Amino acid sequence: MATMMAIIKESRTKGLSIVEKEVPETLKDHEVLIEVLSASLCGTDVHIYQWDPWAANRLNPPLTVGHEFSGRVVKVGSKVDRVKVDDIVSSETHIVCGQCEFCRTGRGHICQNTQIIGVDRDGCFAEFIRMPESNLIIDKSGVDPKFLSVLEPLGNAVHTMLHFDISCKTVAVVGCGPIGLMGINVAKAVGAKKIIAIEVNPYRMNLARELGADIVINPKDTDVIEAVLKETNGLGVDVVAEFSGNKKAIEQSFKYIKKGGSMSLLGIASEKIEIDISNDIVFKGITIYGVTGRKMYENWDQVSALLESKKIRLDKIVTHVISMRDFEEAFRIMASGNSGKVVLIP
């Protein structure tokens, strides 16, 4: 029996453990075994590490954690015909049923029976992972595999930024964590007219500038509404892309969005948001879109095209590459806020 190193949530307490587990070599007809080449940390992994109320209500330990990865195909099931051994792949992390109303109407990203790797079933913080062939994205860009683990969150950024037309438009990116930073990069790549980034962390403010933000506003020392209106001739921005989940930041965004503007919300708010529906939504005539996951597989096609265009700076977005065995250090760096994406190498 072949074994592998894996990082697991072993029990219903704070922390994670490194263990030896059996390599999942027994495949169903349409499954693929992948050698993990890189995996990256996400805020979800922090929730699981901390064992907060969300994690306690969602996970059933023991479970291998992690859901963002790249890898090399090493074995395929008997009916696999789209990928082959030695293909370099990344992966959609939502495993959907294909049978519910949402899947059957082209909305698999909101499948009512979704299973997320590293949350509902074993994930990728390990040396090998078993995945359905249909979830895999074959890399054709030639990008270093250590960067390809971040394509899943890049898909979130693409979904958020490109749901509305932002070409030649003014865009506010609210919150410059790793996915917000990717959003800035995407906006720059597709030709947004002016990108206004809103962020409080100096490290991430600098990254926002490097990735293409024209204006970076720190709400701690600047009136955000006043500053955005000044930068937009008093009209406001065409599109707001909300990544922060911060109550005040979300509420302010309704005050500086342009009449007829559009808002995509990816950030998860932990507090109730107060909105003047009449004046800030109805009379402004704005459109609001809630972002969950990635449209399968429209957003993945967009991600692939952006990668092949060489306009996405994954080398800037990935700021730390660490051995998977040093995962505690990786979580510490991520918690500090002084990082972009943090990547683990098995």
Active site members: 44, 47
- Using alpha carbons, select from 52, 64, 41 the residue that is nearest to residue 330: 41
Strand pairing category for 68-76 and 88-91: antiparallel
- Our CA dihedral for 181, 240, 156, 294, rounded to 10 degrees, sits at -170
**The tokens 């922090």 sit on which residue?**
46
| Cross-strand partners of 194 | 170
Q: Which residues contact 125 (CB under 8 A, 6 or more apart)?
A: 6, 7, 39, 64, 65, 66, 118, 324, 327, 344
| Alpha helix (H) residue ranges in 59-198 | 101-104, 145-148, 151-162, 178-189
**Backbone phi and psi for residue 273, each to the nearest 5 degrees, phi listed first:** -100, 130
Cis ω for the linkage preceding 297 (within 30 of 0): yes
Dig out the tokens for 311 from the structure: 């306009």
Q: Where are the beta strands (DSSP E) in the chain?
A: 3-9, 17-22, 31-40, 63-64, 68-76, 88-91, 94-95, 115-116, 128-132, 136-138, 170-174, 194-198, 215-217, 237-242, 257-265, 287-290, 318-323, 341-345
Dig out the tokens for 280 from the structure: 């800030």
Q: Which amino acid is at 297?
A: Y
Distance between CA atoms of residues 251 and 202, nearest Å: 22
Q: Which residues contact 30 (CB under 8 A, 6 or more apart)?
A: 77, 79, 80, 132, 133, 134
